Amino acid sequence: MAIFRAKEVHQLSDVELDENIQKLRMELLQKYGKVSAGGASENPGRIREIRRTIARMLTEQGMRKQA
């Protein structure tokens, strides 16, 4: 799954936002599961980027609900 920047997130529709949030959350759970099982992540910075992207998307959803 790709990492989205704020400008890209703003251009997504509501349905696309929901789908991408779910996909990223599943990927994050897989990464956390691998790390907790004692495995080393290929790209440790990926977890941080996924968390930040989810936060960007949730922020955008909140802003849309207010407007």
- What is the C-alpha to C-alpha distance for residues 50 and 56, in angstroms, rounded to an integer? 10
Q: How far apart are the C-alpha atoms of 28 and 24, rounded to whole Å?
A: 6
Query: Does domain 6-66 bear CATH number 1.10.287.310?
Result: yes
What residues contact residue 30 under an 8 Å CB cut-off, 6+ apart? Answer: none
The 8-class DSSP code of residue 39 comes to P
Burial of 61 from C-beta contacts in 10 A (0-12 / 13-18 / 19+): middle
- The full set of domain ranges for the chain reads 6-66
In the prediction, which pLDDT does 12 show?
95
Contact 29, 54 (CB under 8 A): no
The pTM for the full model equals: 0.89
pLDDT digits (tens, 9 = 90+) for 28-66: 999 999 888 887 777 889 999 999 999 999 999 999 999
